């Protein structure tokens, strides 16, 4: 699907002996309903069997029981917008930081009720800080089979640590794990996209906060971008990923 028009033309010539122009190939594609889109990539390492096993298992739960947890990194470069206005024929350009500066990690728990709990740290989460997050999250959940009673995470090593599993199950909740290389099954990835959109909306302030302001100001800016997400968006993300 990612062949250039001249490559398609050459393939047609080899296969049929017919020689046509690139513009003819383009017209044939457009008449057939094809358009050029930004291509998404699915990991070659992805296992169809493991995805089917996960879908069968997760279908045992109601969507309102599922709480998705994941981590996303943010630095001052995150706040730059990808498009800008410029005079036709000139580059759209601005000065920008190429050095990322301080990096922060945002770790929320997403449910159909909204963001149940979140924590932000400078750098990355470690086993101890993730354990602290889980302990805080469980206070906002209910024992299974109640609402918000099943934590869904990816296969990151600290997510599967025995202490984490014990903390969850000892409180009467459950945990499930996404199949490898399957971010498309995690609605929190769409929440991160929305969060980063809002960071770009407030880009000047976010960059200033990450460069010269206190950690408290930075955490406030990141929290604002995260908690602006509303329940209608979350429902649509759950639906997009196949849970409702």
pLDDT band of residue 96 (cuts 50, 70, 90) is very low
* Mean pLDDT lowest among 79-88, 110-119, 178-187: 79-88
Please give the domain boundaries of the chain with CATH numbers for all domains.
1-39 (no CATH), 48-85+98-240 (3.30.420.10)
Q: What is the pLDDT of residue 9?
A: 86
CA gap 130, 143 in Å, rounded? 20
Q: What is the pLDDT of residue 197?
A: 80
Strand partners for 106: 72, 120
pLDDT band of residue 99 (cuts 50, 70, 90) is very low
List, in order, residues 6 or more apart from 129 with CB less than 8 Å away.
119, 121
The three-state secondary structure class of 230 is coil
Q: What angle do CA 183, 189, 194 make, to 5 degrees?
A: 155
List, in order, residues 6 or more apart from 48 with CB less than 8 Å away.
none
57-86: pLDDT as tens digits:
999 999 999 999 999 888 755 655 455 566
Backbone Cα Rg of the chain = 23
137-172: pLDDT as tens digits:
999 999 999 999 999 999 999 999 999 999 999 999
pLDDT band of residue 204 (cuts 50, 70, 90) is low
Q: What angle do CA 54, 58, 60 make, to 5 degrees?
A: 130
Q: Which two tokens stand for residue 112?
A: 């159909």
Is the pLDDT at 236 greater than 50? The verdict is: yes
Is the pLDDT at 22 greater than 70? The verdict is: yes
């Amino acid at each position: 699907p990612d062949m250039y028009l001249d490559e398609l033309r050459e393939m047609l010539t080899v296969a049929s002996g017919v020689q046509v122009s690139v513009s003819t190939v383009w017209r044939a594609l457009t008449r057939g309903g094809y358009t050029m889109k930004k291509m998404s990539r699915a990991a070659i390492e992805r296992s169809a069997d493991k995805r089917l096993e996960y879908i069968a298992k997760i279908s045992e739960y109601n969507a309102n029981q599922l709480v998705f947890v994941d981590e996303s990194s943010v630095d001052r470069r995150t706040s730059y917008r990808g498009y800008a206005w410029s005079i036709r024929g000139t580059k759209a350009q601005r000065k920008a930081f190429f050095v990322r500066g301080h990096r922060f990690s945002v770790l929320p728990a997403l449910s159909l009720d909204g963001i149940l709990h979140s924590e932000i740290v400078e750098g990355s989460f470690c086993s101890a800080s993730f354990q602290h997050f889980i302990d805080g999250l469980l206070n906002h959940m209910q024992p299974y089979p109640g609402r918000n009673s099943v934590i869904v995470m990816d296969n990151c090593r600290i997510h599967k640590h025995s202490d984490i599993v014990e903390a969850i199950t000892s409180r009467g909740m459950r945990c499930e794990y996404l199949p490898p290389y399957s971010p498309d099954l995690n609605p929190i990835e769409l929440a991160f996209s929305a969060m980063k959109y809002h960071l770009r909306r407030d880009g000047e302030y976010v960059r200033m906060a990450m460069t010269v302001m206190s950690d408290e100001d930075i955490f406030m800016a990141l929290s604002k971008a995260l908690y602006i997400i509303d329940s209608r968006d979350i429902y649509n993300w759950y639906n997009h990923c196949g849970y409702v």
